[in-house]
Amino acid sequence: MNSATTERSGLFAHFGRDFTASIVVFLVAMPLCMGIAIASGVPPEKGLVTGIIGGLVVGLLAGSPLQVSGPAAGLAVIVFEFVREHGLEALGPVLLLAGVLQIVAGALRLGGLFRAISPAVVHGMLAGIGALIVIGQFHILFDQKPMSSGLENMAMMPARILGLDPTNIASTELALMLGLLTIGVMIGWEKLRPKNLGLVPGALLGVMAATLVAWGFGLDVARIAVPESIGAAFALPTSTAWFAPLAQPALLVAALAIAFIASAETLLSAAAVDRMHDGVRTHYDKELRAQGIGNLLCGIFGALPMTGVIVRSSANVQAGAKTRLSTILHGVWILGFIALLPWLLREVPMAALGGVLVVTGWKLVNLSHVRHLFHAYGAFPAVIWAATFVLVVTTDLLTGVLAGLALTLVELLPHARNLRLKVQEHDNDEHTRLELGGGATFLGLTRLNAVLEKQPHHKPVHLDLGKVKVMDHTTAETIREWLGRRRQSGQTDTVTGPEAILRPLPLAA
């Protein structure tokens, strides 16, 4: 019986663990869904609708059973700029088209291509997004709306601080105190939480603390707006004019950008989730199709775009989830909560969600990634990271990513004559020898991934890099991670080759 069949027949085999894990994921997801919606410049219920679809629909169809899908901080910036320029009503049809593009990409088996994106570009993009979220949500802490660009937000930050009046505690000062309370509780909980309460999310505790203070003292601060009925959150198209924005070329480019970034973030998150557990591995093309269906539905219902999200996914794995049932149930809990308790959500201060997003954005600005790239591979990957980061912050997301991808091509120019990857497999009873030759670069990474991942777990592998002329940092990172997963499962794989090729592969020693 194959693994997929085992998973289907055993969906309820671990009901207890999946049930408790789903509650943990729900508690993590609720404040993030609303906070990301606000950071995207849309009503908070739009984020909740995306979370529901990500659980009920994508959770059922996903190629990565333990990955959780929903609104992602990584798309908040691009959605905010889109809504500001084109209006919320144009987001639905564009998102529908992005979903169709993802479905087509999955059907054409292009999932592996997204895994070949340079980690310097990915981490530079995420760091830039994190910085934009922090400087944008800074203004939400003051009960004010963010400006239209990252540079304008930075320029206005001193004015917000200088505008405070300690002698006259009004709504602005109260909102800031609630936001800082939320941030303080989140950071303090991460530092001091007992081991037996490790699964309790700090974001939930921070929002609860701010909400209780605002409610208990009757503070006059802005609170989130939630519709009276769940039906109002699911807005269906009312006429064929709904599709009119798709006639504009600029919006077609936006759909392509959303599809590309959402797919890359999803599949990179899925690869990270696979490293956290020993269960069913991700089927990348199936995951891409499921995400496309989810985004198509989000477009129809006027919600936010979705991706696979690492924070909720890691909470799912750490909480002990075993099957996709946990992801599905977390969508059920979000639906039930906004159907039965919308009045409770309306007590949450906006500044509290701003505090959640400030902490979330700050975590995305992870300098350890660029330090690792510099020490392992030299200055050029760090330059790619820095260029992507700076352009995302100062211009826009798509410009930063495209510039980063262009720089990864520059890395290959000195080796233009040796870019063809050659892979030979030599199998015997004791081990498998994989012989690579030519150029081990991101251009051949889809093929290399397919070969690496089909290797059996019961037999050691000898990875022979003796004929490799050049290896870029993207391929080196892939091999490092593959070796790490294999060795964690007890394999004694070996790697041989020239010192210059082996240097960035410390696991080979």
DSSP secondary structure, 283-323, as one string: -HHHHHHHHHHHHHHHHHTT---EEEEHHHHHHHHHTT--S
Are 190 and 226 in a shared domain?
yes
Residue 357 placed within a domain: no
Residue 8 placed within a domain: no
At 222 the three-state DSSP class reads: coil
Q: What is the mean pLDDT of the chain?
A: 89
Residues 6+ away with beta carbon under 8 Å from 194: none
Of 261 and 100, more confident = 100
Are 53 and 126 in a shared domain?
yes
Per-residue model confidence as pLDDT tens digits over 377-432: 999 999 999 999 999 899 887 889 899 999 999 989 888 888 899 999 998 878 89
Per-residue confidence band for 506, with pLDDT thresholds at 50, 70 and 90: low
Are 273 and 313 in a shared domain?
yes
Q: What pTM was computed for the model?
A: 0.84
Residue 158 placed within a domain: yes
CA-nearest of 315, 391, 331 to 151 is 391
**3-state secondary structure string across 424-481:** EEEECCCCEEEEEEEEECHHHHHHHHHHHHCCCCCCCEEEEEEEEEEECHHHHHHHHH
- The predicted structure's pLDDT at residue 507: 52
Q: Average pLDDT in the 133-143 region? A: 91
Counting the structural domains of the chain, the total is 3
- The predicted structure's pLDDT at residue 508: 45
Which of 351, 375, 392 is the C-terminal boundary of a domain?
351
Are 122 and 203 in a shared domain?
yes
Q: Average pLDDT in the 440-457 region? A: 90
Are 372 and 250 in a shared domain?
no
Residue 126 placed within a domain: yes
pLDDT at residue 182 greater than cutoff 90: yes
* Tokens 């992602």, located at residue: 72
Per-residue model confidence as pLDDT tens digits over 320-368: 899 999 999 999 999 999 899 899 999 999 999 999 989 988 988 889 9
Which of 328, 351, 374 is the C-terminal boundary of a domain?
351
Domain range enclosing 37: 13-351
Q: Average pLDDT in the 26-37 region? A: 92
Residue 358 placed within a domain: no
Task: Provide the CATH number for the domain around residue 424.
Answer: 3.30.750.24
Residue 2 placed within a domain: no
Are 170 and 223 in a shared domain?
yes
Are 76 and 38 in a shared domain?
yes
Per-residue confidence band for 231, with pLDDT thresholds at 50, 70 and 90: confident
Are 284 and 156 in a shared domain?
yes
Per-residue model confidence as pLDDT tens digits over 141-177: 999 888 877 788 889 999 999 999 888 888 899 999 9
- The predicted structure's pLDDT at residue 280: 84
Are 424 and 397 in a shared domain?
no
Amino acid occupying residue 182: T
Are 247 and 127 in a shared domain?
yes
Per-residue model confidence as pLDDT tens digits over 277-325: 777 889 999 999 999 999 999 999 999 999 999 889 988 998 889 999 9
- The predicted structure's pLDDT at residue 147: 80
Are 382 and 340 in a shared domain?
no
* Tokens 């405070």, located at residue: 164
pLDDT at residue 180 greater than cutoff 60: yes
Residue 361 placed within a domain: no
Q: Average pLDDT in the 14-27 region? A: 91
Are 346 and 263 in a shared domain?
yes
Q: Average pLDDT in the 106-134 region? A: 89
Of 214 and 431, more confident = 214
Question: Could you give the CA distance from residue 460 to residue 435 in angstroms, rounded to a whole number?
Answer: 14
Residue 359 placed within a domain: no
At 143 the three-state DSSP class reads: coil
End-to-end CA distance of the chain: 37
The percent of the chain in helix, strand and coil, each rounded to the nearest 5, is 70, 10, 25
